[in-house]
A and B are shown apart, each in its own frame.
Chain A
Amino acid sequence: MTVRDALNSALDEEMSADPKVFLMGEEVGEYQGAYKISKGLLEKYGPDRVLDTPITEAGFAGIGVGAAYYGLRPIVEFMTFNFSMQAIDHIINSAAKSNYMSAGQINVPIVFRGPNGAAAGVGAQHSQCYAAWFGACPGLKVLAPYSSEDARGLLKAAIRDPDPVVFLENELLYGESFPISAEALDSSFCLPIGKAKIEREGKDVTITAFSKMVGYALKASEILAKEGISAEVINLRSIRPLDTATINASVRKTNRLVTVEEGFPQHGVGAEICASVIEESFIYLDAPVERIAGADVPMPYAANLERMAVPQHSSFELGFCVVVPTKPNQC
């Protein structure tokens, strides 16, 4: 099942199960979704539940928050999270903080979803990863699926969750197909929020990653396996709350850590993971933690430059050389 179909089926099932769930965003209706994630939904549920909005992120995010205040369960789609910047006040100051500020009187069961991070050849204003920005904010839950199972289970969990959830998809993963179990295809399937998944067990080094980078990490671990290094790959799934328990348990087993993300390095997700591991598992570390991240520049457009600005397989090798110096002549 492709990630696109996984998301579509999750939306369909949740909208069918709860009449209060509705979808809102630019092009989600007649156009079937800018990336076709909401295909067929307008036809099935009608214009009352699938709303095409004018071009105003601040407007429809605000409307979504207001609808959530008064009992509906909106799913607000941003064409890319880069555009969520225009609505960030509603996401942070209204959605994230209202339950706290109102002392539980106003809860906001809203989901903000859309593609996040780099795509291919879309330049600086369409390529930033916002996981770290939203992950810093108490009151929000932030999820980043990788596989189709992740996409289905996490989106269903997000829609059912009473708290505001930022759901970070990835445009390049939409078309990718993953095997999916019968359990995951069931309409009651749901993944827990705040639990990471160990995609590949290992004993020599822990690699944490989320979204598209999980695929890269798995590929890198195959290469490492040929060198005799067994890597444990953790698919974070949840940026906030971060499953520090799973990460620390893994590091205590392998004694080495490499964090991977596509976003900017400073104040990134990797930085938070490093801090957590150093606070809780310092004596278990045999080597300093290594962060692999995107280049600290706005994303360039030219294909060759763009390639250099995001982690490539070669960056993994460099990362591992630092962390796993078993074969120094390789670096």
Chain B
Amino acid sequence: MAIWLRRSRSLAHYLKAEIGFWKVPNQRSFLNPCFFNPENSSSTTLTGENYGNPASFLGNSPTLFGSRRFESIKSGREELDLEYENSGHQNQAMDFPGGRISFTSEMKFISESPRERIPCYRVLDYDGLPIMHSSFVEVSKEEALKMFSSMVTLETMDTILYEAQRQGRISFYLTSIGEEAINIATAAALTPHDVVLPQYREPGVLLWRGFTLQEFSNQCFGNKADYGKGRQMPIHYGSNKHNYFTVSSTIATQIPQAVGAAYSLKMDKKDACVVTYFGDGGTSEGDFHAGLNFAAVMEAPVVYICRNNGWAISTPVSQQFRSDGVVVKGKAYGIQSIRVDGNDALAVYSATRAAREMAITEQKPILIEMLTYRVGHHSTSDDSTKYRPVDEIEHWKTARNPISRFRKWVDKNGWWSDKDESELRVNVRKQLLQAIQVAEKAEKPPISNLFTDVYESLPSNLCEQEELLRESIKRHPQDYPSDVPV
């Protein structure tokens, strides 16, 4: 009786506190899409304004959510490292399928949210200085300069090809602006033998591996030299010789496919792993669950890299999941995971190197959540100013820019100068404009490419269809585009 009263009093106490909690938009609330940004204390606009942000939505009905959630919040507040008070029972355990479990007579629900979020691994501060006592993998001057110039090249390529779409010269484009560190530093940490299954926002990996600006442009223009033979829309690059699987638009399908490819590597006993990328949105797909679960069971050497950039088109992470981001999901599948500052090239490099080592030597999957921000729109079909504040985008584009942060570190080492910078940018721009001109003028793929590769060898019905098409073209040449070779 007494115990019951004591608990109910504390319940009432918590109930009052909870209603208060929900009423005040909290900077630290994970309902705020920028909640992994504790420095940003001046951004009351981010929670106050109505951009379809759940914090403002919930702000209108605090009691509804307060009463529904108070029980588990109470357990969260009381919980201290999941230690149970009934020490008398600690040595007793029960056998169940799956292993031995010790039991407790206290009914306690594990909190749905930790008191503190999993911290994020970081090496460089915003001034480009390594943080004291940070452990990281050393990068040589040559490597660092290659990384830096690749990041600049990627940014320039994105800017100019985006413009080309706006001018109507290509049909579609998708940028990686803001995620250059993830693109390049992960690629730098891998070997050319590691197999990459991308989502679609990782052209930097291909760039690092030697895909030229001309090759990128050819794919975007869908011309005769495109390795994809004009079959896919822009940014769907693929190259066997660079060990980079062709981009497929469907989200998260690469996650279980990576396990299959890793299984093949395992059977061959290669000193290589599979690396696959996806965004925060991709983790909602069923394939994410199936793939990670399976990878753990099959002990597949896969490094899973989640680019948590805060947005899945217009869906902020607060509407994508209610967990502490993606890193906590690894544990649920029995996968070692880490959270990294995705805009810190050195941290990204170090973590990826370490993950790769573990995946190969221990033959198991690793999950890396890289926190970053999608500075660009989702694609050329999107205008993100419609659902997020312009100053938020500006902030991440300038103050939190991964390229300038890495530049500061490279500068401090005396490896780079302003003159080098302007030369690089001028050069890349020139090369790119030249590549685009060449790609635009090049012939389109011939008509026979419409029918090949459906199967390994051309079946008779497609032969027939090709014949019919050619006859039709002969009969009505004026209706046929002049720049497409027959």
Contact = CB atoms under 8 A, between A and B. Distances in A.
Interface stretch (B51-59, B240-248, B375-383): B240-248
Given A67-B261, A68-B260, A103 B228 contact: yes
Interface in A8-62: 48, 51, 53-54, 56, 58-62
A58 B257 contact: no
Given A98-B248, A101-B236, A66 B260 contact: yes
B253 A93 contact: yes
A62 B232 contact: no
Contacts of B442: none
A62 B261 contact: no
A185 interface: no
Instruction: Summarize B's interface: helix, strand, loop or mixed.
Output: helix
Nearest to B241: A105
Interface in B206-234: 226-229, 231-232
B452 interface: yes
Interface string A71-112: 110100000000000000110011000111111111100000
Given A105-B240, A241-B461, A58 B286 contact: yes
B258 A89 contact: no
Given A62-B255, A63-B259, A99 B455 contact: yes
Contacts of B227: 103, 105
A93 B297 CA distance: 26
A71 to B, nearest CB: 5
B392 interface: no
Given A54-B297, A56-B293, A62-B291, A104 B453 contact: yes
Contact of A69 (B231, B239, B257, B449): B257
B31 interface: no
Interface size range of chain B in the complex: 35 or more
B464 to A, nearest CB: 10
B228 A102 contact: yes
24 contacts: A58-B287, A62-B256, A62-B259, A63-B291, A63-B294, A63-B298, A66-B257, A66-B259, A67-B261, A89-B250, A99-B454, A101-B228, A102-B228, A102-B238, A102-B453, A104-B452, A105-B238, A105-B239, A105-B240, A106-B238, A139-B455, A141-B455, A162-B456, A163-B456
Given A59-B256, A103-B231, A241-B459, 18 more contacts: A59-B287, A62-B290, A63-B259, A65-B257, A66-B256, A66-B258, A66-B261, A66-B263, A67-B261, A68-B260, A70-B265, A72-B260, A72-B264, A89-B253, A93-B248, A102-B238, A102-B245, A194-B459
